[in-house]
């Protein structure tokens, strides 16, 4: 039988509060954007020339959280940078900047799994979808940061009509983004009926 292996991510960077928002023009001129654009020219090709970048402006948020060892809240800045797009998917790369670690890309924890189809036909029934562990990835597809819930979500479409996809949720917890939910719909059947692979909350 045909097995399709999809390898995704690990996020190493968590908890409460998200006021500030940086304007795109200010962010593009910032040191953070300069570091990003210099670090990933191959992965995020055409950043300066891409017309699509106009429709997906870069963003940033100020985060803070309480710790057990200090009366002073810890603070960080989360950056979201446009990294390319296709017909129905848009990719972004996230950075987290803290006083002690500086500016580092966020790597997101995601499950590694296989999809086994009946008769090796991807339009047939899904026989099994076993997990084999976790991996890491830097790019998130069709992602959003929710300042109220302190979560980043992704929703990667496997084809344009959106009936097959993978979707993850990561929450900011004590200075890190932690994977709490991951769903996959591997059925190319015209309907959205995902299976939950990971659920911690």
Encoded tokens for 194: 């995902």
Is residue 38 classed as helix, strand or coil in its secondary structure? helix
> Which stretches in the chain have pLDDT values below 70?
1-29, 46, 48-50
Q: Specify whether the CB–CB gap between 106 and 13 falls below 8 A.
A: yes
| C-alpha span between 60 and 148 (Å, rounded) | 14
Contacts with 181 (C-beta within 8 Å, 6 or more apart), sequence order = 168, 169, 196, 198, 199, 200, 201
Position 67 scores a pLDDT of 83
- List Cα–Cα distances, 39 to 33, 48, 103, 177, 196, in angstroms: 10, 14, 12, 21, 34
Position 112 scores a pLDDT of 96
Handedness of CA 10, 12, 17, 20 (dihedral sign): negative
Domain hosting 156: range is 3-199
What's the domain count of the chain? 1
Position 49 scores a pLDDT of 57
C-alpha distance across the termini of the chain, in Å = 34
pLDDT tens, 41-93? 888 876 765 677 788 888 999 999 988 777 888 999 999 999 988 889 999 99
């Amino acid at each position: 039988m045909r097995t399709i292996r999809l390898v995704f991510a690990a996020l190493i960077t968590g908890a409460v509060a998200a006021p500030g928002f940086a304007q795109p023009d200010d962010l593009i001129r910032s040191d953070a954007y300069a570091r990003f654009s210099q670090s990933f020219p191959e992965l995020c090709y055409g950043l300066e020339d891409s017309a699509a970048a106009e429709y997906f402006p870069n963003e940033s948020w100020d985060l803070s959280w309480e710790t057990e060892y200090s009366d002073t809240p810890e603070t960080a800045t989360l950056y979201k940078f446009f990294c390319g797009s296709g017909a129905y998917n848009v990719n972004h790369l996230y950075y987290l900047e803290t006083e002690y670690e500086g500016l580092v890309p966020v790597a997101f924890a995601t499950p590694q799994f296989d999809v086994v189809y009946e008769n090796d036909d991807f339009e047939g029934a899904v026989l099994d979808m076993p997990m084999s562990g976790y991996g890491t990835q830097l790019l998130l597809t069709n992602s959003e940061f929710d300042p109220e819930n302190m979560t980043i979500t992704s929703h990667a479409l496997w084809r344009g009509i959106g009936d097959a996809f993978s979707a993850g949720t990561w929450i900011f917890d004590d200075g890190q983004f932690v994977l709490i939910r991951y769903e996959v719909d591997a059925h190319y059947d015209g309907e959205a009926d995902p299976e939950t692979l990971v659920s911690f909350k």
